[in-house]
């Protein structure tokens, strides 16, 4: 019988940083499986709503059986109650296995894969993380990336709004105490200089450079991008890395708002595949000074392992409400 998991059912999971290790492991395993032949298909699209937001949706089905549907408001600001929904579907029959409130989990769709990349692509003994952004994505990236940077000593922040980045820094100092030094930079250049890992976790336009001056990035750093924000770094000699070249087949695509105007291109020939690094087929770097841009700007199968992680956590604790809308 299907299970309904509300936001209140999942509040403890949403607040527990140590539980994120399970999500990171699940996404890593799923990426390796897909690269090894568990091919997926996906629909990624959005429709305009009367109020100006966009109803975005992604459907994913894996060859091995599981499927998911995720609905979320694109472009929304502030609270949107009952608007973030994930559904686990039986990959054979299409029947609903669960309906999951994703108010606190939609951001994991990028921050967890980012952490998988940092786990395997960051320079050895990385100690400094720069976060470009101060919104929900930036806050989630801090939470997940900290789980895979055990040597983190310095967290540097920057976003275009002085008030927002200052408030973000204040919040993080209160959370982290003396365990990690938190500094708020006045400029992008100041924020990225000397950093081992940089994540462009703000809302940048597709293809817009998150770091205007590539010369500020130290040789050998890792830059995480969600929107093609590292293109100028690639032109400056950095190497492109992608989760896997075996992305889900995009069977339908389109955003009425123009949020993403063109179908994401396939991974370029010669791009480093994270899954090859994970499985030992390729080294993360050819030298200590090789800068890596880890690009996430494409629809992948991450919803399937993330929803499965949420459901497994709830099942272990007997949470949720069973329902049968066909009975």
If you count them, how many residues does the chain have? 327
Q: What are phi and psi of 313, to 5 degrees?
A: -60, -45
Q: Is the CB of residue 307 less than 8 Å from the CB of residue 98?
A: yes
| Architecture in CATH of 110-245+264-295 | 3-Layer(aba) Sandwich (3.40)
Task: Look at residue 300 in the predicted model and tell me its pLDDT.
Answer: 95
Reduced to 3 states, what is the DSSP secondary structure of residue 166?
Answer: helix
| Architecture in CATH of 3-107+302-322 | 2-Layer Sandwich (3.30)
Task: Look at residue 172 in the predicted model and tell me its pLDDT.
Answer: 98
Q: Is the CB of residue 130 less than 8 Å from the CB of residue 146?
A: no
Task: Look at residue 53 in the predicted model and tell me its pLDDT.
Answer: 86
Q: What are phi and psi of 180, to 5 degrees?
A: -140, 135
Reduced to 3 states, what is the DSSP secondary structure of residue 294?
Answer: strand
Task: Please report, for residues 10, 39, 125, 306, 325, the alpha-carbon distance to residue 66 in angstroms, rounded to integers and kept in the order given.
Answer: 22, 11, 37, 12, 21
Both structure tokens of 207: 């293809």
DSSP code per residue over 179-212: SSEEEE-SSHHHHHTT-SEEEE-S-PPTT--SSS
Q: Which residue has the tokens 């093609």?
A: 228
pTM greater than the 0.85 cutoff: yes
DSSP code per residue over 46-83: EEE-TTS-EEEEEEEEETTS-EEEEEEEET--S--TT-
- Give start-end residues of each CATH 3.40.50.720 domain in the chain: 110-245+264-295
Task: Look at residue 211 in the predicted model and tell me its pLDDT.
Answer: 95
Task: Look at residue 263 in the predicted model and tell me its pLDDT.
Answer: 84
Query: How many whole angstroms separate alpha carbon 163 and alpha carbon 77?
Result: 17
Which among 239, 234, 229, 235 has a CA at the least distance from the CA of 207? Answer: 229
Question: Buried b / exposed e across 110-128, counting CB within 10 Å, b at 16+?
Answer: bbbbbbbbbbbbbbeebbb
Taking the chain (327 residues) in runs of 10, the rounded mean pLDDT of each run is 97 98 98 94 94 92 95 84 96 96 96 98 97 96 98 97 97 95 98 97 79 96 92 94 94 89 85 98 96 95 98 98 93
Reduced to 3 states, what is the DSSP secondary structure of residue 175?
Answer: helix
Question: Buried b / exposed e across 286-319, counting CB within 10 Å, b at 16+?
Answer: eeeebbbbbbbbbbbbbbbbbbbbbbebbeeeeb
- Give start-end residues of each CATH 3.30.1780.10 domain in the chain: 3-107+302-322
Query: How many whole angstroms separate alpha carbon 191 and alpha carbon 144?
Result: 20
Beta sheet of 54-62, edge-to-edge order: 249-255, 40-48, 54-62, 67-74, 85-89, 96-101, 3-5, 321-322
Both structure tokens of 36: 């090894």
Task: Look at residue 203 in the predicted model and tell me its pLDDT.
Answer: 67
């Amino acid at each position: 019988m299907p299970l309904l998991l509300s936001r209140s059912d999942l509040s403890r999971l949403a607040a527990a940083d140590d539980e994120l290790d399970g999500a990171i492991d699940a996404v890593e395993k799923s990426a390796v499986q897909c690269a090894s032949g568990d091919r997926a298909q996906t629909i990624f699209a959005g429709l305009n709503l009367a109020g100006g937001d966009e109803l975005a949706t992604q459907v994913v089905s894996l060859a091995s059986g599981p499927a998911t549907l995720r609905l979320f408001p694109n472009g929304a600001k502030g609270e949107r109650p009952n608007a973030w929904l994930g559904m686990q579907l039986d990959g054979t029959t299409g029947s609903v296995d669960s309906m999951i409130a994703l108010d606190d989990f939609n951001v994991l769709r990028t921050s967890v894969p980012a952490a998988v990349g940092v786990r395997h692509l960051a320079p050895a003994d990385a100690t400094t993380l720069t976060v470009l952004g101060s919104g929900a994505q930036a806050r989630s990236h801090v939470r997940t990336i900290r789980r895979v940077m055990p040597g983190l000593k310095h967290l540097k922040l920057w976003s275009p709004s002085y008030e927002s980045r200052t408030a973000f820094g204040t919040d993080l100092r209160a959370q982290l105490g003396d365990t990690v030094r938190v500094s708020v930079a006045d400029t992008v250049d100041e924020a990225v200089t000397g950093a081992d890992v940089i994540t462009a976790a703000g809302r940048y336009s597709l293809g817009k450079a998150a770091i205007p001056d590539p010369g500020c990035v130290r040789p050998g750093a890792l830059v995480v991008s969600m929107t093609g924000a590292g293109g100028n770094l690639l032109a400056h000699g950095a190497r492109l890395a992608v989760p896997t070249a075996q992305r889900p087949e995009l069977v339908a695509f389109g955003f009425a708002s123009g949020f993403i105007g063109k179908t994401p291109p396939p991974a370029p020939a010669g791009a480093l595949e994270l899954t090859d690094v994970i499985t030992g087929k390729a080294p993360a770097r050819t030298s200590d000074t090789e800068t890596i841009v880890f690009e996430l700007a494409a629809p992948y199968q991450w919803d399937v392992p993330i929803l499965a992680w949420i459901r497994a956590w709830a099942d272990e604790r007997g949470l949720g409400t069973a329902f049968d809308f066909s009975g």
